[in-house]
Amino acid sequence: MKRAKSWVWFMSIGLLLGLWACQKTDLVTPDEDSYTEEEISLDKEFGGFNTRDEMPGFGDQSIQSEFAADESAADPISADVESSIMDSGLPAYFVRITWGHLEGDSTATEQVDWSGYAEVNKGTLGVLKLIRFERSTDRLVLPRESKKRVDFTSVTTTHFDGLLFVIIDNDTAASNVDGQFTFTAGAYSQTFSFAELDSMERIDAVDDQGNEVSIISRGKTVQPFAGGFFSGRWIRMSDRHGRFFGRWIDSMGNNAGFLKGIWGERGHGNNGMGMPGRAKRVMFGKYIHMDGRFGGLLAGEWGYADDADNHGWLKGRWFGRHRQLKGRFKGVWKSGKPGDGRGFFHGRWIEKQQQDGE
């Protein structure tokens, strides 16, 4: 969305006293009688997060309002693609793309026109979700003239827009042709092979005003894969640590829950999962389902991209209620300056039994 977002949730946390100090979290449980405030610390197992059920959205209205569900595309071709996703035996690629001020910039005043198109040279291209589209400025160009191409209009100012695509490689007449996906939005244009889309996580700079494009993709046979995406805010509280919060998304682009956690640097020792380890830049969190039921505990690492100090990568594992390994996650992050409330992270998650190619 283009309007500035409220950062009341994070500003109310207060100043953190130091990387090694214990911090308090505002996690709540449905049972008010058993409510106790937790201590959250990078030195604790899973950062101190527990496996209790929570209130929806962790009881925080700002999380629920900022991360509302994305709109489905009113496109007959995409509807046909979605209805055929339960078929098996054909390669498919789920591609989630966002563009604009990914970490948010309430001071931005210039409108940026991202109108463009997405196109494949073979197969069928569907649109599963419109991400943060506003009806006044953003839309798909319908009806489409081809199942291989979709045009769109998009304008951003302080925030970002996006689309979730699915590509079905069902063109038997071009079975020997290498598949390609082209995405053009405003001044940005890139072409990727289908093979590259099997596993991709990236953030590309577009201009000197801070506009960027982020792409997360996953290849699978034609069926909803046992996993999905995540997206939200990666907030810097100091030069070396901060917090994150956002939404947990299924493979079809539907909101499946919310997540929140902490990230930062610490010394050698316990890796946060009850085992010795060397991890120095670590992250821990918790995700819950839409109704507040416990979903998983997250434990991983993060790092910087090349020589950058404001963006990089993240990866790790997520665990069930009894600390059993459930799957993995991987993505990218971008942060603002300490205390400015700006930040972004974007990635994909996968369940354990579906981790081929990860």
Domain residue spans of the chain: 8-67+227-354, 72-221
Edge-to-edge strands, sheet with 149-153: 139-140, 149-153, 116-120, 180-185, 188-193
Find, among 231, 264, 236, the residue nearest to 248 by Cα. 231
Tens of pLDDT, residue by residue over 50-72, are: 999 999 999 999 898 899 999 99
Decide if pLDDT at 293 tops 60.
Answer: yes
Residues 313-331 have pLDDT tens digits of 999 999 999 999 999 999 9
Q: How much is the pLDDT for 36?
A: 41
Cα–Cα nearest to 125, from 83, 174, 92, 158:
92
Q: Which pLDDT band holds residue 24 (cuts at 50, 70, 90)? A: very low
Q: How far is CA 269 from CA 111, 276, 279, in A?
A: 48, 6, 8
Model confidence at 10, in pLDDT bands (50, 70, 90)?
very low
CA distances from 101 to 158, 166, 350 (A): 6, 24, 27
pLDDT higher than 80, residue 307 = no
Q: Say whether pTM exceeds 0.75.
A: yes
DSSP string over 101-128: -TT--TT----EE--EEEEESSSEEEEE
Lowest-confidence region among 27-36, 94-103, 257-266: 27-36
Q: How confident is the model at residue 86 (pLDDT cuts 50, 70, 90)?
A: low
- Position 185 scores a pLDDT of 98
Higher local confidence (pLDDT), 336 or 90: 336
> Is-contact 347 314, C-beta < 8 A?
yes
Give the C-alpha distances (Å, rounded to integers) separating 70 from 90, 97, 113, 141, 254. 27, 13, 21, 18, 7
Task: Count CA within 13 A, CB hemisphere, residue 58.
Answer: 24
Please provide the average confidence, as pLDDT, over all residues in the chain: 85
Residue at token pair 């801070």: 210
Provide the 8-state DSSP code for 4: P
On the question of pLDDT at 2 being above 80, the answer is no
The span from the CA of 183 to the CA of 95, in Å, is 11
State pLDDT tens for residues 93-152.
Answer: 999 999 999 999 999 999 999 999 999 999 999 999 999 999 899 999 999 999 999 999
Local confidence band at 308 (pLDDT 50, 70, 90 cut-offs) = confident
Q: What is the pLDDT of residue 38?
A: 53
What pLDDT, on a 0 to 100 scale, did the predictor assign at position 223?
62
Query: What is the DSSP track for 171-216?
Result: -GGGTTSPPEEEEEETTEEEEEEHHHHTEEEEEEE-STTS-EEEEE
CA neighbor of 38 nearest in space, from 246, 29, 30: 29
Which string of DSSP letters, residue by residue, matches 52-106? ----GGGG-HHHHHHTPPPEEP--HHHHHHHHHTT--SSEEEEEEEEEE-TT--T
CB 266 within 8 A of CB 19: yes
Strand partners, 280: none
